[in-house]
């Protein structure tokens, strides 16, 4: 049995797991993402410590590293990540130098889509869209059976204008990410209720319980997501749209208002199935592990 470490760097947390070659998650470690780390030094240090901790129990043969933003994946560079404050950062090579273990590098969303396409909710689909909703929002575009990246620029739907009213990390106002991300939902609830520290999980439970403020916030967020999906459906005609990330835990509470909007709005377009990711919030972890094992198999 061989082992890899999967690392998913998010805007608020670094999620990591030790994964065996049967894709069983053996152990997990979550650490806070260093703030204002424009050089990547503190993030690399945090990841290296995680890898060393896992490595004390099992030999780690490779690391799969997934990060958000616009990437040059072949070069291992983060061109831009608003939530991490990175610009033209050679993060893959920085990590490889620190740990001296092969590092597979990919966009967090496209990496998670690898898992869903190979053995998850998008398996068998020729045309699909994978949208994990967390601190940020982006999409993996599966076209004719392949995940398209357009040199790392494709799929940044979080910065599509959905006529929202809140400012976005990219510098604009009205972006999907500023309306429908987990961070945006929590901020909107705080602004309307005056209550601080309410998680999106708590908010969707309040929605189920009929709380008026939570329901209003949820309605705004899902309507913005539905408008973005309508554009994607019209342009790309997916067979299925798969939702992952933390917000996917809401299940039908999240899907139903989007489905209802699309049922009322779409006319000639192909109506896709709306699904929750088979791997749920672990899709990124499994996808990272798959890319890391690809490196191991290739002998790199």
CATH architecture entry for 124-277? 2-Layer Sandwich (3.30)
Segments making up each domain of the chain, as ranges: 3-112+281-299, 124-277
Query: Which CATH code fits 3-112+281-299?
Result: 3.30.420.40
pLDDT for residue 194: 95
How far apart are alpha carbons 278 and 67 in whole angstroms?
21
Equal CATH topology for 3-112+281-299 and 124-277: yes
Q: What is the pLDDT of residues 57-72, one digit of tens each?
A: 999 999 999 998 889 9
Query: pLDDT band for position 300 (50/70/90)?
Result: low
* DSSP letter for each residue of 55-97: HTTS-EEEEEEEE-SEEETTTTEEEEETTTTEEEE-HHHHHHH
Residue 241 has pLDDT above 90, yes or no: yes
Instruction: Give ∠ CA 185-189-191 in degrees, rounded to 5.
Output: 115
Half-sphere exposure of 109 (CA within 13 A, CB side): 30
Q: What is the pLDDT of residues 106-116, one digit of tens each?
A: 998 999 999 99
Helix (H) or strand (E) holding 294: helix 283-298
Contacts of 62 (CB under 8 A, 6+ apart): 4, 5, 101, 102, 103, 104, 292, 293, 295, 296
55 exposed, middle or buried (CB, 10 Å; 0-12, 13-18, 19+)?
middle
Contacts of 256 (CB under 8 A, 6+ apart): none
Identify the three-state secondary structure at position 175.
strand
Q: How far is CA 111 from the centre of its chain?
A: 9
């Amino acid at each position: 049995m061989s082992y890899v470490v999967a690392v998913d760097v998010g805007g608020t947390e670094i999620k990591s797991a030790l994964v065996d070659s049967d894709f069983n998650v053996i152990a997990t470690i979550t650490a806070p993402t260093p703030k204002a780390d424009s050089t990547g030094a503190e993030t690399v240090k945090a990841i290296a410590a995680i890898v060393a901790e896992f490595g004390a129990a099992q030999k780690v043969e490779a690391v799969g590293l997934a990060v958000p933003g616009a990437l040059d994946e072949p070069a291992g560079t983060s061109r831009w990540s608003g939530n991490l404050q990175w610009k033209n950062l050679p993060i893959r090579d920085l990590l490889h130098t620190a740990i001296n273990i092969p590092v597979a590098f990919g966009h967090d969303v496209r990496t998670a889509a690898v898992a869903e396409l190979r053995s998850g909710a998008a398996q068998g689909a020729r045309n699909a869209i994978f949208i994990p909703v967390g601190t940020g929002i982006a999409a993996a575009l599966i076209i004719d059976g392949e995940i398209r990246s357009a040199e790392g620029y494709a799929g940044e739907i979080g910065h599509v204008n959905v006529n929202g009213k809140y400012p976005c990390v990219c510098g604009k106002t009205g972006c999907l990410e500023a309306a429908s991300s987990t961070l945006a939902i929590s901020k909107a609830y705080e602004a309307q209720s005056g209550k601080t520290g309410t998680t999106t999980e708590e908010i969707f439970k309040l929605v189920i319980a009929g709380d008026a403020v939570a329901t209003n916030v949820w309605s705004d967020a899902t309507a913005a997501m539905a408008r973005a999906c309508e554009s994607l459906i019209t342009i790309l005609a997916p067979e299925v749209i798969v939702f992952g990330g933390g917000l996917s835990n809401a299940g039908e509470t999240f899907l139903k208002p989007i489905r209802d909007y699309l049922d009322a709005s779409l006319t000639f377009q192909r109506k896709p199935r709306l699904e929750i990711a088979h791997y749920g919030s672990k899709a990124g972890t499994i996808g990272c592990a798959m890319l890391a094992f690809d490196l191991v198999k290739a002998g790199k």
